[in-house]
Chain A
Amino acid sequence: MDKVLDAELRQRVVASIGTLLPQVLKRDLSAIPEDIRLFDELGLSSSKTLELLLALEEELGIEVDVDEIDRGDLVSIGAFADFVTQHATPL
């Protein structure tokens, strides 16, 4: 069963995605709404998404169980943030 979402952590995850995404994509982004699609609209690739995930771990001091991730978790920023929050363990 999924863990109950830690609202505070999720908020930090979303904020960090906003900071880290431009670095991973190597371009400036203006507003990044949660429903924006990572692949189709932002042009993120699978490997870039994984880089983003590992950068999030470093930034937030968490470890994410990456074995469980699947494509549904990468549809949008919101879905990605849910996944990270649910599968994070504090370091």
Chain B
Amino acid sequence: MTALDAVAAYLPDRRVPIEDLAGRLDLAASQIKVLRRYHGLAEVRRQEPGGTVLDLLAAAASTVEGLREKAHRIRHVLYARGVPVALPYPMNPVHELRALLALDRATAFTVTHHGCATSLLAVDIAGRLLASSGEPGALALVVAGEQVFTQDPAVAADSRIFGEGAGACLVSADGPHDRVLSYVTRQRGDLDHWAADTTGLDERYVREYPKLLDEVVLAAVERAGLTLDDITLILPHNVNTVSWKRLAKRLELPVEKVLLDNVPVAGHTFAADAFLNYRTAVEHDLLHRGDRYVIAAAGFGAIFSAMVLQH
């Protein structure tokens, strides 16, 4: 059973109020007001000018507990990326990261096309790779986090603002914690943000999103042999607060069970939200031994994913 051996996260110190991004993101004052009031966004983090994606990823990965001692056991480094074009070709920091961390016995590659739900996919792939090799004690390092590089209109700031941050976790095939009890992912190709014909897509996506998110969370909980009553916490992607408050309402969960603390202070850090929110949950003492929790995310390309884990 796939398990998260250790999880780390990093947020740059530089805080940027969303108002300061209005010009660059072509947002009117009324849109900023909607983002603040309705979507619960306030500020994001940005690296200092000149900071690289490698810096970002390394800042998270280097604080993974026990990384140095376990480096010789790491067989794979997976970079879970949210958007297809995250860096100018041919840059790919995952190989530099592998070298920087002296993970000489690891292969390094990028996982993408599940949008901001890619970190869950990467954890699943890492677990499968390790299980298939059968090597005792082998580990994989999954990293996530991006700079706000692309100007793709699909990532326009209409209901979320992207921030810079990174996460990293060590995955084992059968470790004692945190054990992955289930993973469900679904794609709705007809709602793909990058489809050839996107006429009316935004409204259809908005209309169908709640149901698709509910379904995948419930499916993951059911696949884990649990009910929602067994779930201590939901770690969401930090797209906004309103969609998660509504999910809580629809599923009749207390909204306090959804960790939304990072939405106003970090924004949406692409696929790193899962690890960032995990760290926040642990630091705020919201997860205790044996607790079952859900990590849930939706990604560009109409991907809906949920993973149930036990702390």
Q: Chain A: residues with CB nearer than 8 A to chain B?
A: 39, 45-47, 50-51, 54-55, 66-67, 70-71
**8 nearest A-B pairs in the assembled complex, by CB-CB distance:** A50-B34, A51-B30, A47-B158, A46-B206, A54-B33, A66-B38, A50-B38, A51-B34
Q: Is B105 an interface residue (CB 8 A)?
A: no
Task: Tell me the nearest residue of chain B to A39, going by C-beta.
Answer: B203
| Bound: A66/B37 CA distance, A | 8
Chain A residues near B34 (CB, 8 Å)? Answer: 47, 50-51, 54
Task: Tell me the nearest residue of chain B to A54, going by C-beta.
Answer: B33
| Bound: A34/B206 CA distance, A | 24
| Contact yes or no, B246 A70, CB < 8 A | yes
Task: Tell me the nearest residue of chain A to B246, going by C-beta.
Answer: A70
Q: Range of interface residues on chain B?
A: 10 to 19
Given contacts A54-B33, A66-B37, 6 further A-B contacts (CB under 8 A): A39-B203, A46-B203, A50-B38, A66-B242, A67-B242, A71-B207
Task: Tell me the nearest residue of chain B to A67, going by C-beta.
Answer: B245
Chain B residues near A66 (CB, 8 Å)? Answer: 37-38, 242
| Contact yes or no, B30 A55, CB < 8 A | yes
Across the interface, A51 reaches (CB within 8 A) one of B31, B159, B202, namely B31
Given A54-B37, A71-B207, is A47 in contact with B242 using a C-beta cutoff of 8 Å? Answer: no
| Bound: A3/B159 CA distance, A | 29
| Bound: A51/B27 CA distance, A | 12
Across the interface, A45 reaches (CB within 8 A) one of B30, B37, B38, B203, namely B203
| Bound: A66/B207 CA distance, A | 17
| Bound: A71/B207 CA distance, A | 8
Residue-wise interface mask of B (202-230) relative to A, using a CB-CB cutoff of 8 A (1 in contact, 0 not) = 11001100000000000000000000000
| Bound: A26/B207 CA distance, A | 24
Most chain B CB within a 10 A radius of its CB, from A50, A51, A70: A50
Chain A residues near B31 (CB, 8 Å)? Answer: 47, 51
Chain A residues near B203 (CB, 8 Å)? Answer: 39, 45-46
The distance from the CB of B33 to the nearest CB of chain A, in whole angstroms, is 5
